[in-house]
């Protein structure tokens, strides 16, 4: 009789979808915050945060997809989500601004069906077949947090997102006044990222291109780029498009770092996300001085990467 009552109880528990049974899940209050020490400001104050959407992927202890949550534009307040997850260790990965420029290599429907592992997923910058980008890309942020979820308990998970994008403001001074078209470009190959935010190697070069004309003996432009770091080597080029002449062709990272080193400083790409670069040209249209964020660097001819055909 005792065994019979036990069997009935178990059956009833299953029927009622585990109501009244031991719940192996834990409630999760997930909070995603913008790292206040790593905020970037766009050129337009009304678009200060430059986050139109947020996507958070959740992976289990085997780094296999479990679920995901999405949200809209960032307004200055933390994103907050409530989840129920079975007890265990989880990895939470956040990306921003999925859309025209930033895309996943898998759809959410595919992840739900096939339960991909984290190392099978990529987040990447989309560009046209000419591999050129003529306008500023949106800000990109990434954040990740590993945490154990305990059953029958309220669990709090905090994920901080930091920028993956940098703003390069460039000015050229000293060139003779003309009505020629000039082109600034930054060539890079860091378009694809693993979900741990590491750059996927061996991707093709692409270019950020801006065309401008001289005003009051100055050329000015602004280019937003992806990840900068000491070990990387994106190329910064200034050309006179009308005359088909390359005026400057240098390693962007070396240019930044050497300007800091000249003042016994070290460029920190983990805390500085905006770099103002001023190229000063001499009488023979040669680079004489470079300034980066106020630090002066005397340009050496051997620093030039060599001129490419325009």
* Structure confidence at residue 62 (pLDDT): 97
* Structure confidence at residue 200 (pLDDT): 94
- CB neighbours of residue 97 within 10 Å: 21
Rounded distance between C-alpha atoms, residue 72 and residue 294, angstroms? 37
Whether the Cβ atoms of residue 38 and residue 273 lie closer than 8 Å to each other: yes
Nearest-CA neighbor of 26 among 145, 156, 150, 157? 150
The ranges of the chain with pLDDT < 70 are: 1-22, 36-49, 301-310
* Structure confidence at residue 12 (pLDDT): 42
* Structure confidence at residue 245 (pLDDT): 94
* Structure confidence at residue 48 (pLDDT): 59
* Structure confidence at residue 283 (pLDDT): 84
* Structure confidence at residue 298 (pLDDT): 87
Write the burial class of residue 275 (CB in 10 Å: 0-12 exposed, 13-18 middle, 19+ buried): buried
pLDDT, tens digit, 9 for 90 and up, residues 59-104:
999 999 999 999 999 988 999 999 999 999 999 999 999 999 999 9
Q: Where are the domains of the chain?
A: 24-163, 166-303
* Structure confidence at residue 8 (pLDDT): 43
Question: Fold for domain 24-163?
Answer: Immunoglobulin-like (2.60.40)
- Same fold flag, 24-163 and 166-303: yes
Rounded distance between C-alpha atoms, residue 97 and residue 35, angstroms? 16
For domain 166-303, say whether CATH 2.60.40.2090 is its number.
yes
Give whole-number Cα distances, 300 to 114, 254, 287, in Å: 55, 12, 8
pLDDT, tens digit, 9 for 90 and up, residues 212-221:
999 999 999 9
* Structure confidence at residue 18 (pLDDT): 47
Q: Per the structure block, which two tokens stand in for 54?
A: 């947020």
pTM score, two decimals?
0.85
Residues paired with residue 67 on neighbouring β-strands, in sequence order: 58
* Structure confidence at residue 36 (pLDDT): 61
């Amino acid at each position: 009789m005792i065994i019979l009552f036990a069997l009935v109880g178990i059956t009833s528990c299953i029927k009622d979808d585990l109501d009244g049974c031991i719940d192996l899940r834990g409630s999760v209050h997930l909070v995603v915050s913008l790292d206040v020490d790593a905020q970037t400001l766009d050129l337009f104050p009304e678009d200060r945060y430059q986050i139109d959407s947020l996507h958070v992927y959740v992976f289990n202890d085997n780094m296999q997809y479990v679920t995901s949550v999405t949200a809209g534009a960032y307004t200055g307040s933390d994103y907050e989500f409530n989840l129920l997850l079975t007890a265990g260790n989880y990895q939470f990965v956040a990306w921003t601004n999925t859309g025209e420029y930033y895309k996943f290599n898998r759809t959410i429907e595919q992840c739900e069906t096939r339960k991909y592992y984290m190392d099978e997923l990529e987040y990447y910058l989309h560009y046209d077949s000419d591999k050129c980008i003529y306008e500023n890309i949106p800000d990109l942020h990434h954040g990740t947090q590993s945490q154990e979820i305990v059953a029958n308990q309220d669990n709090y998970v905090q994920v901080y997102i930091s920028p993956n994008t940098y703003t390069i403001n460039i000015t050229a001074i000293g060139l003779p006044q003309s009505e020629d078209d000039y082109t600034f470009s930054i060539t890079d190959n860091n378009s694809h990222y693993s979900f741990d935010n590491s750059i996927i190697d061996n991707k093709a070069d692409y270019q950020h291109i801006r065309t401008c004309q001289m005003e009051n003996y100055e050329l000015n432009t602004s280019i937003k780029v992806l990840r900068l770091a000491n070990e990387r080597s994106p190329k910064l080029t200034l050309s006179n498009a009308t005359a088909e002449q390359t005026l400057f062709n240098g390693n962007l990272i070396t240019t930044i770092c050497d300007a800091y080193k000249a003042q016994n400083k070290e460029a920190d790409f983990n805390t500085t996300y905006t770099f103002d670069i001023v190229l000063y040209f001499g009488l023979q249209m040669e680079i004489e001085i470079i300034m980066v964020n106020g630090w002066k660097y005397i340009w050496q001819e051997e620093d030039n990467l060599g001129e490419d055909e325009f």
